Amino acid sequence: MARINDNYLRLKSGYLFSEIARRIKEFQAAHPDAKLIRLGIGDATRPLPGAIVQALHAAVDEMGRAETFRGYGPETGYEFLTELIAKHDYGARGVTIAPDEIFVSDGSKSDAANFQELFSADAIVALTDPVYPVYLDSNVMAGRAGAPDSRGAYDRIVYLPCTAENGFDPPLPDGPVDMVYLCFPNNPTGAVLGRAALKRWVDWARSAGAVLLYDAAYEAYIQDPDVPHSIFEVEGARQVAVEFRSYSKTAGFTGTRCAYTVVPRDVTARASTGEAVPLHGLWFRRQSTKFNGAPYLIQRGASAIYTPEGQKQARTTIEYYMHNARVIRDGLETAGLTVYGGRNAPYIWLKTPAGLDSWGFFDKLLNEAHVVGTPGAGFGRYGEGYFRLTGFGDRAATEEAVARIKSRLKR
């Protein structure tokens, strides 16, 4: 009799977004004429840059002719793309990454979710809290999280609280930990870590024999020239870190799907025999066995982001979103709210006013301003008391939402 993976039954259901949808539906039924504005969105809304559109068309034409048709490509990505990544995303910042240390994929969600497969089932995982849920859920499925308590905390996960009190800078684990997921610029808090803070993590990982799973999906939003864009800008990281990068928020690829993961040849973990095994070879084996590469034409599209026009067009879109983030940030501050993030990230993380938890503020914002955001509690226990808004909306709608918050939100 076939048996399921019981770990799946330990997942919490996708409560956050279904509960948001339920409350919106209820509100709209009661107020059919209210014009809702969604500022909770974590998805690109601007069109693909023209240079990418042009490259996609050219690649589609190639696929339609026998002489230029492409079948199976390299599972880990075409060299025409990995060479551009190595040069522009790393070389230009003084970091040496070889093209074959870059694994192109269909998205950072897949990579961040799948990478844990390379580790033993009893590895100890640390997560910042609040956190992007995929890091947790993929480890719950693999049996590394243990059992959830009544508040949804798993007994084998090491949580690293990120709150206003510590400047959203996660503390180092104070016990044994094998794998740590770090995401900077951070979703949802919008925080970044400077060079010294990243160095502290690399040094800790080297001494603890731990691996850093570094999610840099929002690096293109960094404005401060002193903030590293890659963990590999920190000395010693090649031995202890892998890095997830994505075109989703950099080039509007949330619906077009292309990303990459950097696994330096130097990063290792131990076999049960004690032998140090390079994660590079394991990830290569994982990807070549369970994945067949991102579509040729999508990789051609992604390549166009590295042309001068592509760079300029992508930069314009990022500035558009970051301008929205400033509009929100400034508006909320004027409205008397305490606001974090939004300077080096498209995410604004605000403190809910005294007396309101994050769902209470959700209802207040919905009822008084007809604006939808995301309750911080949806990202973890330490997200309680916070609320996420984003710069990914339409400019006019963002301005209208902020005007409503300023004029309608009751103090």
Of 233-252, binders to its own copies (CB under 8 A) are: 252
**Does the protein bind its own copies through residue 53 (CB under 8 A)?**
yes
Minimal distance, residue 66 CB to its own copies, in Å: 5
Figure out which of the listed residues 169, 178, 215, 243 binds its own copies, where binding follows CB under 8 A.
178
- Quote the CA–CA distance of 124 and 178 in Å, as a whole number: 5
Provide the residue type at 161 as one letter.
P
Q: What is the DSSP string of 262-287?
A: E--TT-EEE-TTS-EEEHHHHHHHHH
CA angle 25, 29, 30 (to 5 degrees): 120
Figure out which of the listed residues 81, 118, 231, 314 binds its own copies, where binding follows CB under 8 A.
118
Residue number, 24 or 356, with CB nearest to its own copies: 24
Which among 26-34, 47-55, 347-355, 360-368 is the span making contact with its own copies, rule CB under 8 A?
A: 47-55
**Does the protein bind its own copies through residue 106 (CB under 8 A)?**
yes
**Does the protein bind its own copies through residue 396 (CB under 8 A)?**
no
24: nearest Cα among 41, 33, 36:
36
Residue number, 110 or 324, with CB nearest to its own copies: 110
**Does the protein bind its own copies through residue 120 (CB under 8 A)?**
yes
Q: What x-and-dash track marks residues 211-230 binding its own copies by CB under 8 A?
A: x-------------------
Figure out which of the listed residues 37, 44, 241, 371 binds its own copies, where binding follows CB under 8 A.
44
φ, ψ at 350 (rounded to 5°): -115, 150
27: nearest Cα among 396, 362, 408:
362
Residue number, 3 or 411, with CB nearest to its own copies: 3
- Quote the CA–CA distance of 341 and 229 in Å, as a whole number: 16
Measured between alpha carbons, how far is residue 27 from residues 24, 365, 366 in Å? 5, 12, 8
- Quote the CA–CA distance of 21 and 370 in Å, as a whole number: 14
Minimal distance, residue 73 CB to its own copies, in Å: 6
Which among 23-31, 164-172, 274-282, 376-384 is the span making contact with its own copies, rule CB under 8 A?
A: 274-282
Q: What x-and-dash track marks residues 136-175 binding its own copies by CB under 8 A?
A: -xx--x----------------------------------
Minimal distance, residue 64 CB to its own copies, in Å: 4
**Tokens standing for 166?**
């510590």
Figure out which of the listed residues 85, 162, 179, 193 binds its own copies, where binding follows CB under 8 A.
179
Residue with the two structure tokens 């694994």? 103
**Does the protein bind its own copies through residue 71 (CB under 8 A)?**
yes
Minimal distance, residue 364 CB to its own copies, in Å: 27
**Does the protein bind its own copies through residue 70 (CB under 8 A)?**
yes
Measured between alpha carbons, how far is residue 270 from residues 120, 211, 214, 267, 288 in Å? 10, 11, 20, 11, 22
Provide the residue type at 133 as one letter.
P
Determine contact, residues 112/215, Cβ cutoff 8 Å.
yes
# binding residues, its own copies (CB under 8 A): 79
CB count within 10 Å of CB 5 equals 10
CB count within 10 Å of CB 276 equals 10
**Does the protein bind its own copies through residue 295 (CB under 8 A)?**
yes
**Does the protein bind its own copies through residue 16 (CB under 8 A)?**
no
**Does the protein bind its own copies through residue 388 (CB under 8 A)?**
no
**Does the protein bind its own copies through residue 122 (CB under 8 A)?**
yes
Contacts of 79 (CB under 8 A, 6+ apart): 99
Provide the residue type at 335 as one letter.
A
**Does the protein bind its own copies through residue 45 (CB under 8 A)?**
yes
**Does the protein bind its own copies through residue 294 (CB under 8 A)?**
yes
Minimal distance, residue 62 CB to its own copies, in Å: 9
